[in-house]
Structure formats: C-alpha cells, structure tokens
Homo-oligomer: A and B are copies of this chain.
Amino acid sequence: MDTWLLSRMQELRDLQGLIGLATWDQETYLPAKAGPARAHQLSTLQGLHHERLVDPRLGEALARAASQDLTGDARAMVRVLSREREREVRVPSDLVKALAEAQSKALHAWREARKERRFALFQPALQRLLELRREQADAYGHGGERYDALLEGHEPGMRVERLTPVLSALREHLIPMVGKLVGARRPVARLFDGRRYDKDAQWAFTLRLLQDIGFDLEAGRQDVSIHPFTGGTHPLDVRLTTHVDETSPLSAIFSTIHEAGHGLYEQGFSPAHYRTPLASAPSMGLHESQSRLWENIVGRSRPFWEHYFPALRAAFPEALAAVDLDDFHLAVNEVSPSLIRIESDEVTYNLHIALRYELELLLVRDELPLADLPAAWNARMEKYLGVTPPDDTRGVLQDIHWAWGELGYFPTYSLGNLYAASLYRAAERALPDLAGHLRRGELLPLRDWLRTHIHSQGFRLPAEELVRGVTGHGLTDTDFLAYLKSKYGALYGVSL
C-alpha cells in the first residue's frame, strides 16, 4: 500500500481516537459548564473526519490500491475503508445537517414527552427523523429493503431477509419458555435490601475482577460515569466506565464485567492492525457478544460465583452473611417479565428486542402510522411478555435510541446474545476444563481463546463469516436456546 494511503488511514484512526477521548472526557471529567464548548469541539473533529473521509484523493488512492496485488491484510484495510467511505460519500451534506438538527430536536422532545408521559409530544419530532432516515437509507442505496441500509451501519453484511426468520423463531421459542419459568414460581432472595454499601469496597471488587479477567490496566483504565460505556482512543488506551450504586454492589459488578467484555475486544486487536481500519470489530453484534458472554454466560454462572461468592460475602457481610451460593445464583438470574428492557433478565431480554425490531421495520417500511406506535408497542408487550405499560414513559418512550435517530441498532443486542452462546459453546469444546477454570477463578484461558479467534482478527472478515470459521456455523439461535434451557431448566427445576 502506498505511504500516502497508509498515512491517511492512520490520520482517520487518530481522529476517531480523539473523538473517543473527547467523548469519554465528556462523560467522566468535563466540568459542568463546559458542555456547549465540548459539543463544538466534537463537531469540529467530526467535521474534519468527514472531510478527510470523503476527500476525492482518498477515493482515488483506494481505487488504485484495490486494483493492486495487495497482501490479505492490506486488501482488507482497503475494502473496509472503501465501504466506510462509500457510505459517507453518498449522504449529501444537507441531509447530514438536517439529521443533526432533527436529532437535537427529537432529543429535546423525547425528554419533554417522558416528563409528561405522553408519546404524542415526541411524535412530530420522531416523524421528521424517520423521514430523514428513510431518505438517508435511499441515499446509501439498498435492494428494495430500506432497513437493510440502516442495519448495515451497525451490522455490516446483515440483511432483514436473514435476520427476521432468526429473531422470529427465537421469539416463538422464548414466549412459552418465559411462561414456564414464571409458572415455576421459585422464591427468590432479595439481595442488598435497604442498606448502603461502601463505594470504595465496591470499586476494589470491580478492580479485582478486571485484573482477573485479564483487562490490562496499563493499556486502559476504569472510571465512573452515570451510564457505563466502553470508549478510549487506541487498543492500548481502552477506557471502561462503571456505575457505582450505593444501594447494591451488583450494579457496578455486572457493569464492570459487561464493559470489560467490550474492553478485552478493543485491547485484543492485533498490533499489526493498530491505526488502521482493521483494528475494529466487524459489527456491533459481535462486539456485544463479548460483553454478554462475559456478563451473562460467565458472570452469572454458578462456577464463576463458586469462586467469587466467598470474596463478595467477605466484602459485604452485612448483606450476604445469611445468603448461600444457591440463593445468590438464583437471585442474579431471576426471570421476571418486566416493562423495562435494561432491567430485564437474559431470557426475556430478546423479547424486548423482537418487539423493537418488528416495530422499527414497520416504521421504516412506512407500514405503521406513528400515531399507532404506542398501541402497537403495548399490544406486543402484552402478547410477548404479558405486561402492559401503565404509561408511555414506561413503554414506547423508555429508550433513547429512537430519539438519536438510531434504527437498526436494537437487533444487534440479540445478535450479541446469539453469537455469544455459539462462541461460548465453541470455547467449551476447545477448552474441555472451562467450567473448572471458572471455578478456580482462572479467566485467562477463555480470554486468550477469544483473543486468538475473535479479537485479534479485527475487521478481516464480516461478523458472521468470522463466527462461522470459529464455530462451524453462522448465525443461529440453537446454541443460545440450548444454553437457556440447560441453565434455567436446572435453576427453576422445570423442563424447558
């Protein structure tokens, strides 16, 4: 690859890293009054990134490189950057501006609507955003299914045609499964009720977890933010945040494990890919598979807590002295249909996603008038989960995603769950004593297996292809359903 092209790739990555820094700082250490100043700085950086990406000289250099006989990695770099550039080029700058304005208005309207608990206050702003996103989908280009063009922004290569059957089948399996688990009515211990738990002790526990899990604290850090996230500037500068809730250490613990899953992915990119388009996950779904694998499959497993529960009890004896491991394990895996997605368990979670995916698809296809959205939401909640939102704030207004104009993002959460289960099953085959490792607090064998087979591959292959190479098959709900049946069947003493 010629040095000019490589240096432009590096410059683009540096700009992305700096956007990462400014965003991380905004959520962690930015002084209260500096919000508008930071918004300007971020907008300047994003503008420069856009300008460099759509630069015709970059297009020519990529075209030249694509016609050359490049090595595998260089070819992949050119392919990934070309795809990113093509998408960016296709959206007219007037539309970019209109979207930014519509987003800003929608965010405001969404907040107001939540206060008043009335979707109608959000509807006009969402309508505008939806029209612009349809326009954007047409600008990106698609083969008749606009949603594909939006999905492509989060899950490159995935299509509605492939996704719908998988998520629908999953939904049809989950609805009766949830019914059985709710019917089993196991009494669940209420943990950490009504006391305050020392923040330093919580923090120390999360740092111990990060160390054990193999998150390199010399190539990353953990800080506190209101909403946990993973950011940073480079694979050697990965920044996790967690949320410390004084009323229960479980919030910080599971947030830390979740974000560490993302963080290990970022730290695991190959040094040969640093500052190139390959130091990136091939999809949001695959990124999310790593956080969910660690948080749910490992972090809510019995072997994991066989090792950590004594330490947790020692750290918080006032809450846990009378709780045994089985009670604890059940309590952190309680299945209970609820109104709110982010509070839901791993069995009902995908029903929340199915609902959103189906509604998004209808909206993007213009098959559901926005005025009918709350009713459609509530009807599906009743049908899938047996609960009905008492108001829009606890229903259709609960997520910020649509106010951001994000469409095609929600399904990546379910893809994360499905990929996680398939990858974990492959890891079990490769590491026959995996449960034993977890039981002894040895988390590195799993991290190393994931690093070799997933993280270090970066964006060489599309997500599903990469997963197929590792597990022998592409996207499927088989492994996830088998995992749920085995785990929750045993926990609730029912046959699923």
Spell out A's residues near B (CB within 8 Å).
10-11, 14-15, 17-18, 21-22, 25, 29-34, 36-38, 40-41, 44-45, 47-48, 216-221, 223, 233-234, 236-238, 274-275
Report chain B residues within 8 Å CB of A237: 30-31, 33-34, 37-38
Report chain B residues within 8 Å CB of A31: 217-221, 236-238
Do A33 and B233 contact each other (CB < 8 Å), given the known contacts A21-B25, A22-B18, A40-B275?
Answer: no
Instruction: Please tell me which one of the listed residues B21, B33, B45, B274 contacts residue A236 in the complex, with CB atoms under 8 A apart.
Output: B33
Do A236 and B37 contact each other (CB < 8 Å), given the known contacts A18-B45, A31-B218?
Answer: yes
| A14 engages B34 (CB within 8 Å) | no
| B34 engages A234 (CB within 8 Å) | yes
Report chain B residues within 8 Å CB of A14: 40-41, 44-45
Interchain residue pairs A-B with the least CB separation, the first 5 = A34-B237, A37-B234, A14-B44, A32-B218, A33-B219
A11-B44, A31-B217, A31-B220 given; name 17 further pairs at CB < 8 Å. Answer: A10-B44, A14-B40, A14-B41, A15-B44, A17-B37, A17-B41, A18-B18, A18-B44, A29-B221, A31-B221, A31-B237, A33-B218, A33-B236, A34-B234, A37-B274, A38-B234, A40-B275
A45 to chain B: closest CB distance in Å? 7
A186 to chain B: closest CB distance in Å? 44
| B219 engages A34 (CB within 8 Å) | yes
Report chain B residues within 8 Å CB of A220: 31
Do A18 and B37 contact each other (CB < 8 Å), given the known contacts A31-B217, A31-B218, A48-B48?
Answer: no
Dominant SS among interface residues on chain A: helix
A411 to chain B: closest CB distance in Å? 33
- The residue of chain B having its C-beta at the shortest distance from the C-beta of A219 within the complex is B33
| B37 engages A233 (CB within 8 Å) | yes
Report chain B residues within 8 Å CB of A218: 31-33
CA gap between A385 and B34 in the complex, in Å? 46
Instruction: Please tell me which one of the listed residues B11, B34, B44, B233 contacts residue A34 in the complex, with CB atoms under 8 A apart.
Output: B233
7 contacts between A and B (CB under 8 A): A14-B40, A18-B41, A29-B221, A30-B237, A31-B218, A33-B219, A34-B233
A260 to chain B: closest CB distance in Å? 15
CA gap between A221 and B221 in the complex, in Å? 20
CA gap between A11 and B217 in the complex, in Å? 34
